[in-house]
Chains A and B, each alone.
Chain A
């Protein structure tokens, strides 16, 4: 774990937001996943105290919640960067050189899959497919998709976000 991440973890998490979210899901069929998704959207990740809170309020075991959290690629137990770089590793991207794109991101930011830069600015993620195969190789930075990439273009994209602060 990076130092910055450790610091954040030690902070006391304000549970008001999580409580408000959970209010909506108490007594609802199949509430666990949508509740966790919403909590993650609110905090940017799933802080540990919210897991225990969710267990208590939705009446499920913490172990079951961790089972779900670690099963799905979408959930994150660590704080994440401001900009999430999703590198698509789908078949089309693979054939057109996704490994090279991932290497470039690693070279420029020093992070590989599921790692966050120390300044909490960038998180790299290698994902199975983002469904923009027509423009392979592709990356997504938050909600923006960048297609038909070359090593140079990846550099440009990263520089753009670095400049954005």
Chain B
């Protein structure tokens, strides 16, 4: 099994056009496609694939499914067998059901959120082009200067159940975890690629979405992003600009027009290695406030309580 990257979040939104305005003019994505079901597809400047965010018209906010790419078409059969053997129901999804995308396999995590694994993505190319491009990112586009969709955090009543599944069945590596005095996992940070997290699990209700994070080239760009959020009066977390103790990244959180949480961030460390061969950093629960918000050393009540 070789999942090569976290590639997109398919989000439910209550007002698609308001969401498109947000993801283009605030986050800084480009609209790449629409489909007959009213979904809108968007991609960041420095990723070649068809989409990193899908906006689904819905009556609720929250995540519809999370897309991960595998590095070989045969991985889809291997995943189907392994996930089925673990006891979770797998659905084969035909090519084109998600526009711009080949066949996929879809299944729920133990905490209920759905994952889709797939191999093929149509290419839209980098924003700067694929022939003789400028070496600098496209600062002329509206919105934040995000380079790529980086990771997502979902909530679970028992994060340890998701960790067990993701590490034992899908070959994710655990890079950091928060444990209570009894040794139970309260939060976990997992990677399938090169940086310290692609998918994180936080404490909260099952089958809910906490945030997705868009990467930026520097802390300076995050500051620019904060200015943009304030100028456009986008609701943001009271902490920001700040730094996480876990991962050490510079960060600000804000909300899309359906209340789904977004993050601008910079600076995740590299954590390459074969699955299971990079020992995780461990945080005791009493140090979690410093791990969550390094400058403030406190977690705002609503930060983990409120999810979509």
Same complex for A and B? Answer: no
List B residues at the A interface (Cβ < 8 Å).
none
